[in-house]
Amino acid sequence: MIILIGSNKGGSGKTTIACNLAVALAKNGNDVCLVDADRQGSAAKWHQEREAGEITPSITLVQKYDNLTKTMQSLDDKFSHIIVDVAGRNSREMITAATVADMIIAPHQCSQLDLDTLGELQEQIIRVMDLNPDLKVFIYQTMASTNVQVIENERQDFKAYVAEFPEFKALQSSGRYRKIYRDVMSDGLSVLETSNKQAIDEVTALYGEIFSHG
């Protein structure tokens, strides 16, 4: 199964989600390969730290740029799950991976600047679906407010905005803004490998929701 973590917005939390999901899959006994297709190499740096710290489960990482189609297909024969992290823009890597992916998880904050990029994503997806009609696209709310006064309104706004796009589905699970997500990345860890129950619950809920969609 090929899962592309992609959106047209930089800094929306793609790499963070890619690394956390890779660990969630590995911890659940899956044979996972993390593909870093962003020349910035953030996932590769995270992986380097993980290897240096001899943290288990160890994750296989592949760096590949430009046209990802053939690499994805051959990795799909070797691994049960492939998580692809791409750059935050309309990249060749995102389009070529999308043509062979089973699903796209597109993290977005509930901010107009983030949600404004959904129209561009929709145009890309409509074209990609000509080649890959079974592609599923899920929008994941990231870095949601932790302020109880605004959580619910923000969530309703997010869901209403995503509902305008028939090609997309808003995931029920969401992630809040938590420092722990930042802190663990430089150590090559997932929040699942900390004692932060709230962050663990968020990643566990995302994992459960994505993989029950099949």
Cis peptide before 107, with omega less than 30 degrees from 0?
no
* C-beta of 10 vs 208, nearer to ligand ATP: 10
Find which of ligand ATP, Mg ion, none residue 13 binds, CB within 5 to 8 Å per kind.
ligand ATP
Q: Strand 60-63 vs strand 103-108: parallel, antiparallel, or unpaired?
A: unpaired
Q: Are 141 and 110 in contact (CB under 8 A)?
A: yes
Touching Mg ion, residues 153-212 (CB under 5 A): none
User: Would you count residue 90 as binding ligand ATP (CB under 6 A)?
Assistant: no
Asked if 65 touches ligand ATP (CB under 6 A), the answer is no
**Min dist. Cβ of residue 37 to Mg ion (A):** 10
> Considering the rule CB under 6 A, would residue 106 count as an interface residue with ligand ATP?
no
The tokens for 4 are 């592309």
Q: Pick from 170, 175, 189, 190: which binds ligand ATP (CB under 6 A)?
A: 175
User: Residue 97 and residue 85: Cα distance in Å, rounded?
Assistant: 10
Interacting residues with ligand ATP between 42 and 61 (CB under 6 A) = 42
> Contact with Mg ion (CB under 5 A): which of 15, 71, 117, 190?
15
Interacting residue ranges for Mg ion, rule: CB under 5 A: 14-15, 42
